[in-house]
């Protein structure tokens, strides 16, 4: 389960939820599926951005796997759905956009006999949109911490 939030300069705030599923082979190669819903409010420019990544598929390469600490890098593609609403004194509007975007991930896995802890960050390189009063960049970074247990 992913829960993320971030406050940035300029009166913008991100928040959202998501889930991830990962599978790693003994060779250190792995696959991951990810689904999220994120929202950003901008009080300064009177806009709301809702974007979701309903499906994301990527590959990872773990180094030193299955050692107790194993850094990894990965890349993949994602289906990005954007709903952008803006309003102001001179203009208002609503845009719905669907794009395929790449993403990159980096992190580390800490392993023991009974558990695995993953700490990672994913950067989604979304589009730059010319909507409303100023250009909008949809390029979220999702930080994830997860723990799994061996039964």
pLDDT surpassing 50 at residue 9: no
Confidence class for position 102, pLDDT limits 50, 70, 90: very high
Pick the closest to residue 14 from 55, 53, 48, 56 (CA basis).
Answer: 48
Residue 151: pLDDT band with limits 50, 70, 90 = low
What kind and span of H or E run contains 129? strand 128-129
pLDDT grade for 104, boundaries at 50, 70 and 90: very high
Q: Which of 1, 34, 15, 11 is nearest to 140 (CA)?
A: 15
Contact 97, 128 (CB under 8 A): no
Considering the entire predicted model, what is its pTM? 0.74
Q: Are 46 and 71 in contact (CB under 8 A)?
A: no
Residues 6+ apart with CB under 8 A from 12: 40, 41, 42, 44
Residue 128 has pLDDT above 60, yes or no: yes
Q: Which residues contact 69 (CB under 8 A, 6 or more apart)?
A: 108, 109, 110, 111
Asked if residue 97 has a cis previous peptide bond (ω within 30° of 0), the answer is no
pLDDT of residue 1: 47
Summarised one tens digit per residue, pLDDT across range 50-99 is 777 778 899 999 998 878 899 999 999 988 887 777 766 666 677 788 88
């Amino acid at each position: 389960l992913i829960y993320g939030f971030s406050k940035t300069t300029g009166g913008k705030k991100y928040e959202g939820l998501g889930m991830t599923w990962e599978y790693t082979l003994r060779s250190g190669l792995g696959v991951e599926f990810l689904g999220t819903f994120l929202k950003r409010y901008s009080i300064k420019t009177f806009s709301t951005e809702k974007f979701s990544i309903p499906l994301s598929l990527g590959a990872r390469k773990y180094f030193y796997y299955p050692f107790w600490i194993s850094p990894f890098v990965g890349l993949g593609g994602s289906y990005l759905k954007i709903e952008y609403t803006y309003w102001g004194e001179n203009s208002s509007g609503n845009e719905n956009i669907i794009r395929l975007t790449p993403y990159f991930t980096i992190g580390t896995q800490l392993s023991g006999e009974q558990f695995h802890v993953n700490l990672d960050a994913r950067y989604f390189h979304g589009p730059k949109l010319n909507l409303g009063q100023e250009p909008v960049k949809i390029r979220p970074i999702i930080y994830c911490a997860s723990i799994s247990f061996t039964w």
